[in-house]
Structure 1
Amino acid sequence: MKEINFYLIRHGETEWNKQNLMQGAKDSPLTEQGINGAKITGNYLSMVPFVAAYSSTQKRAMDTRDLIVAANHATTTSIPCATHCGLCEMNFGIWEGQEVSYLKSLPEFQPYLTDLARFDSQVNQGEHYLDVYARMRQALFDIIATHDSGNILIVSHGTALRLLIHVISGGDWTQHRDEILRPKLLNTSISLLNYRQSYPNQIGQFTLQQYNQVIHLT
C-alpha cells in the first residue's frame, strides 16, 4: 500500500511575473517579494516532515524549493532534493517574454485563454496543453514509483500545476482555466494532493484536499 501527501507549490514571484510578461520555458529571477514568499511558505511548512523535495529544472522553481527546504525543522536529517524536467512550465513559444496585455489583443491568443479545445500550439510554436499534462502526470508517477509513503514537496509552475491538479482530480482539461472551477494559482500558494494505492499493480486514487491556499501569506 502507498499513501503519499503531495504539497504542490507554485514558485515565488519573478521579475517577469511582476512585469506581466509571458513566462514559460524561459526563466527570470525571483523578486524580493518572491524570495520572501518562499521563506514564509517554508516557515509555515517548517514542521512538515518531508521525505523528499522536487522541483522543475527551472531556476525559479529550484530556488523556491531550496528556500522552503532551508526553513524545515521537522527532521534532523537533510531532505533529499531533486529535479524533474516533466515538472517544467508550459513552453509558450514565440509568446515568451511578451506583454500579456498585448497578447490578449491578438485573435490567435483567445483559444489559449477561453476556447481550449480549439487551441493550436503550432500558432505560437509552443506546447499543447495535452502534452504538458502528459509529462506532468508522468513526472508525478515517476515520483510515486520512488516512494511508498510520506509528505513530498513539489515546486512547479502556475499553468502546469493548475492543469495537472484539475485533470488528475477528475476534471475536463478544456475547463481547467475556468476561474470559477479552478482559479489561477497564486505565487507560493499551497495545494495538497493525497495519493492512496491499495495494491501494487493498481493505479491509486488522487484526492485534492486543498487548493491554492495562501492564508500563510496574509
Structure 2
Amino acid sequence: MEKELRLYFIRHGETQYNIEKRMQGFCDSPLTENGVLQAKSVGAGLVDIPFVAAYASDSQRVLDTAKFSLGTRNIQLTKDTRLKEMNFGMFEAMLQADIIAEHGDILDRLFSFKDVESKVQDGESFTELLNRTNAAVADIIAAHKDTGGNIAVFSHGVTIGFLMKSLLNSEGFPHHDNCCVSVLLVNGGEIMVEKVADASYRDNGKLSLSIEN
C-alpha cells in the first residue's frame, strides 16, 4: 500500500541576476549574501520537518541553496536536470528593461498564458516546461511511495509556480519569492496542493537564527 508523501518545493535564494533584474533560466548567477541568509533561514524554518530525501535542479544557485538549507542533515541530495528553470532562450541573462525596449510587451504576452505552446527563440514553451517537471515529480513519487515521508525539492520560481498553477487549474500565476515553500500532499494516488508560495518558513527561520545569534 502506498504511503503518504509530502513534497516541499523550495525556490532558490536571491541571486545577483535577481537584483539586476536579468532573465535567469538555464543561465546562472551566484547567491547574494541575502540569498545565503534566505537559504539558511528557510532551512531553520523547516528544521522540525524530518526529510527522508532531497532533490534539486542542477543549477548552482539551487545546489547552493540546498546546501545551506539542509545544513548538517544527513540527507543525500539528488540532482535532476528536469527541475531546472524555464529556458528563456535568446533572452537568457538579458536585462528585462532591454528586452522590453527591443521587443515590447513580449514577456507580458508570454506570461499571459494565452498560448502555452509559444516560446522565445532557442527557449522552451510552458508545455515543455510542465512536461519535464511532471516527469521529475512522478519519478520522485514513485521512488518513495512505499516508504512515504517528507521530501525536499529545491527548484525555481517559474518551474514551481507553473506546476502549482497547473495543479490548481488557476488563471493566475502564483509568484514565488526567494526561498518560499509550496507543499504537495500525495495520498492514495491523489496529489493535493497544501501550501503555495508560503514565506513563513523562511521568515520564522530568520527570526530563530537572529535569536540564536
TM-score interval, smaller chain = 0.7 to 0.9
| Structure 1 residues 115 and 56, CA gap change in structure 2 (3 angstroms) | closer
* CA RMSD, Structure 1 to Structure 2 (Å): 1.7
Structure 1 residue 120: Cα displacement: 2.4
| Structure 1 residues 68 and 185, CA gap change in structure 2 (3 angstroms) | same
Q: How many residues align?
A: 198
The SS at the match of 2:21 is coil
Counting only pairs closer than 5 Å after superposition, residues 4-15 of structure 1 correspond to structure 2 as 4-15=5-16
Unpaired segments ≥5 residues, structure 1: 73-77, 198-203
Cα distance per residue 1:95-146 (max 9 Å; x no partner)? 011111232342433321225317621x422000000000000000111111
Amino acid at match of 1:92: F
Counting only pairs closer than 5 Å after superposition, residues 140-155 of structure 1 correspond to structure 2 as 140-148=137-145, 149-155=148-154
Q: Does 1:217 align with 2:203?
A: yes
8 Å CA contact retained: 1:112, 1:119:
no
Of 95, 99, 114, the match for 1:99: 95
| Structure 1 residues 51 and 168, CA gap change in structure 2 (3 angstroms) | same
Instruction: Output the TM-score relative to the length of structure 1.
Output: 0.85
Counting only pairs closer than 5 Å after superposition, residues 1-218 of structure 1 correspond to structure 2 as 1-70=2-71, 72=73, 78-105=74-101, 106-107=103-104, 108-117=106-115, 120-121=118-119, 123-148=120-145, 149-169=148-168, 171=169, 175=171, 178=172, 182-197=173-188, 204-215=189-200, 216-217=202-203
Separation in 2, partners of 1:118, 1:164: 13
Instruction: Output the TM-score relative to the length of structure 2.
Output: 0.87
8 Å CA contact retained: 1:193, 1:209:
yes
Structure 1 residue 147: Cα displacement: 0.5
Q: After the TM superposition, which of the residue ranges 96-105 and 23-32 deviates more from structure 2?
A: 96-105
| Structure 1 residues 111 and 157, CA gap change in structure 2 (3 angstroms) | same
Cα distance per residue 1:158-213 (max 9 Å; x no partner)? 001101112123x15xx3xx3xxx3311000011111112xxxxxx2111111111
Q: Percent identity?
A: 32
8 Å CA contact retained: 1:158, 1:185:
yes
Amino acid at match of 2:203: L
Amino acid at match of 2:107: F
4+ residue runs over 4 A deviation: none
Separation in 1, partners of 2:77, 2:113: 37
Separation in 1, partners of 2:185, 2:107: 34
Q: After the TM superposition, which of the residue ranges 30-39 and 123-132 deviates more from structure 2?
A: 123-132
Separation in 2, partners of 1:112, 1:119: 10
